[in-house]
């Protein structure tokens, strides 16, 4: 959603790199580019003016002039101002002192309230609560049925005493809608009797803001007296979302905003405008069609995404939810023991499936810092390639997965037929796995391949052995030390361990003077040292 804004801001900051000092003209040009980027993202004009003015004021002040790196300081200022217009602090649900906590959903038709009710119910259940979904939308055809289906998928109970309107396609025409206020009242009594600690009320929406919608929503709110009234808004409708939010704030009132369809290709103006204009925080965000594509909205993390700095905290949280800690520990232990040979394709398949449960690979890679410049490559990731890898591994026997080294030609041909791929695909997978396993085993064991002879790093010393072997091949003669102090000592007095990597350390002043005398300095440098004495 924020790709266009991200590209413009990245280009703006890139033009500032390498400048040790920013002039007032540089700051004016930067603010002008930021203004254009925000307007192109369909951000509210008043919000844009306030944002740019704040950035310019801070950039021209002492905050920037005293910075060691002015360019990075400008990025920091923009990041902090983005967090401010997105709502500042993360806001979560205010729980009722006496259960149940009542949450009312309001918004226009098509914003995704019913689906969001299921996502919210699933999220509440994962937090350890016992939620109840209330079908108070009796006017949109099949809205009650949709909520029942979504609730079943989320594993959450649904209270639906009235069937609501059904589609005329079923041959029965439209049924009476019932009274949504009465449904809400009975739902509260039902929740208290059945000991539900959270009640989520799904209300009806309209194609536009009208008096009937406002009156019905206000009546339901007066009946259930919600602890939280959440305004559900489609993030793809741009600045019109701000106008709708204002109308709801005046007619019904709400405590927080829920953004849906954040995974769309719109310009994201609603997300950057609605919190600042309405004065109500964005509390939740829905960024996909699955019930799991829902989470608390964090302004600081969203600002980091917009600036291309990734969202590692969200990525870590998703990984903690998805990965089995015990299973991951066992896989790590296999990598560190016996050169990693115990880590087989079955373990690799388990870890790969856990990564896939976190969501599409393009979404996962998009949360990594610095990936903003690789959006095209990330967008072109072929998920079917992962399916082919899974099919190849699933076509192997348990013994073959545990030890790919036993895969001969006939086994590989059988696996290729079973997976519906070419033998070359099996060969490529096995080769890449063996190389990756070797590298991961070395990293897990503290060895850094490719850095021989670097003092202080694990795995160092290989380069020294290689150099001695090359010297023997060239002249067959043992190499002579280049250290005069070491060369002047008898062979039996030298320290052979790694503590004397740079020669025998002189122990007395006499040894130090002898070492300095044996060390051939350039004539100019020796004369300069003699004058300094």
339-349 pLDDT, tens digit per residue, is 667 788 888 88
What is the reported pLDDT for 462?
42
User: Across the chain, what does the average pLDDT equal?
Assistant: 75
Nearest by Cα to 118 from 163, 153, 162: 153
Q: What is the mean pLDDT of residues 298-322?
A: 72
Residue 125: is its pLDDT beyond 90? yes
Instruction: Answer for the pair 101, 228: CB distance below 8 angstroms, yes or no.
Output: yes
Residue 251: is its pLDDT beyond 50? yes
**Percent of the chain whose pLDDT exceeds 90:** 17
> Can you tell me whether residue 158 is helix, strand or coil?
strand
What is the reported pLDDT for 92?
87
Q: What confidence category does residue 238 fall into, taking pLDDT thresholds of 50, 70 and 90?
A: low
Instruction: Answer for the pair 200, 134: CB distance below 8 angstroms, yes or no.
Output: yes
What is the reported pLDDT for 148?
92
Please list the residues that pair with 382 across neighbouring strands: none
Flag the least confident range among 167-171, 273-277, 321-325.
Answer: 167-171
| Known binding residues for GTP | 107-114, 202-206, 260-263
| Known binding residues | 107-114, 202-206, 260-263
Q: What is the pTM of this model?
A: 0.64
**3-85 has which CATH code?**
1.20.120.140
Residue 332: is its pLDDT beyond 50? yes
CB atoms near residue 484 (< 10 Å): 16
Flag the least confident range among 342-356, 397-411, 455-469.
Answer: 455-469
Pick the CATH number of 322-444 from 3.10.420.10, 1.25.40.10, 1.10.260.30, 3.40.50.460: 1.10.260.30
The pLDDT tens digits of the residues spanning 414-447 come to 999 998 999 999 999 888 888 888 887 776 665 5
The Cα–Cα gap between 148 and 287 comes to 22
Percent helix, strand, coil in the chain, to 5, is 60, 10, 35
Residue 102: is its pLDDT beyond 90? yes
Locate the domains of the chain by residue range: 3-85, 101-309, 322-444
- Select the more confidently predicted residue: 193 or 236: 193
The Cα–Cα gap between 265 and 372 comes to 16
**101-309 has which CATH code?**
3.40.50.300
What is the reported pLDDT for 459?
40
Degrees, nearest 5: CA angle 157-161-163: 105
The Cα–Cα gap between 311 and 302 comes to 8
Nearest by Cα to 271 from 223, 299, 235, 319: 235
> Can you tell me whether residue 392 is helix, strand or coil?
helix
Please list, in sequence order, all residues whose beta carbon lies within 8 angstroms of the beta carbon of residue 431, skipping any fewer than 6 positions away: none
């Amino acid at each position: 959603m924020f790709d266009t804004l991200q590209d413009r801001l990245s280009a703006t900051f890139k033009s500032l790199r390498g400048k040790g000092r920013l002039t007032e003209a540089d700051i004016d040009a930067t603010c002008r580019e930021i203004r254009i980027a925000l307007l192109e993202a369909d951000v509210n004009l008043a919000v844009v003016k306030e944002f740019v003015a704040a950035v310019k004021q801070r950039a021209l002040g002492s905050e920037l002039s005293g910075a060691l790196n002015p360019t990075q300081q400008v990025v920091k200022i923009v990041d902090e101002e983005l967090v401010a217009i997105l709502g500042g602090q993360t806001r979560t649900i205010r729980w009722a002192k006496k259960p149940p906590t009542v949450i009312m959903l309001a918004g226009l038709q098509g914003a995704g309230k019913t689906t969001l009710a299921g996502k919210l119910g699933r999220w509440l259940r994962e937090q350890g609560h016992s939620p109840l979904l209330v079908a108070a939308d009796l006017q949109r055809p099949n809205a009650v049925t949709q909520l029942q289906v979504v609730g079943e998928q989320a594993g959450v109970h649904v209270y639906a005493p009235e069937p609501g309107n059904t589609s005329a396609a079923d041959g029965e025409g439209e049924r009476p809608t019932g009274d949504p206020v009465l449904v809400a009242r009975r739902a509260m009594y039902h929740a208290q009797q059945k000991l539900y600690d959270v009640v989520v009320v799904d209300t009806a929406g309209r194609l536009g803001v009208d008096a009937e919608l406002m009156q019905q929503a206000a009546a339901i709110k007066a009946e259930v007296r919600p602890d939280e009234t959440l305004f559900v808004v489609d993030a793809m409708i741009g600045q019109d979302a701000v106008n709708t939010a204002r109308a709801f704030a005046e007619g019904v009132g709400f405590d927080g905003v829920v953004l849906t369809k954040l995974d769309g290709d719109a310009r994201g103006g609603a997300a950057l405008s609605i919190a600042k204009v309405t004065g109500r925080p964005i509390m939740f965000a829905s960024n996909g069609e699955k019930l799991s594509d829902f989470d608390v909205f964090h302004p600081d993390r969203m600002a980091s995404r917009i600036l291309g700095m990734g969202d590692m905290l969200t990525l870590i949280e998703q990984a903690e939810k998805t990965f089995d800690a015990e299973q991951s520990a066992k896989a790590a232990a296999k990598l560190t023991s016996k050169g990693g040979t115990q880590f087989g394709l079955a373990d690799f398949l388990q870890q790969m499936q856990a990564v896939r449960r976190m969501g599409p690979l393009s979404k996962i890679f998009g949360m990594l810092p610095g990936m903003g410049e690789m959006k095209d490559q990330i967008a072109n990731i072929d998920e079917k390639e992962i399916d082919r890898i899974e099919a190849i591994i699933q076509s192997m026997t348990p013994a073959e997965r545990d030890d790919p080294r036993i895969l001969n030609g006939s086994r590989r041909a059988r696996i290729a037929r079973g997976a519906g791929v070419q033998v070359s695909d099996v060969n490529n997978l096995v080769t890449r796995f063996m190389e990756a396993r070797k590298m991961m085993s070395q990293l897990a064991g503290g060895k850094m391949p490719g850095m021989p002879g670097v003092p202080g790093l694990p795995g160092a010393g290989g380069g020294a052995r290689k150099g001695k072997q090359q010297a023997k091949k060239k002249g067959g003669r043992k190499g002579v030390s280049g250290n005069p102090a070491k060369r002047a000592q008898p062979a039996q007095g030298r320290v052979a361990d790694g503590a004397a990597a740079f020669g025998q350390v002189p122990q007395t002043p006499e040894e130090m003077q002898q070492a300095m005398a044996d060390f051939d300095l350039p004539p100019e440098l020796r004369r300069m040292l003699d004058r300094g004495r």
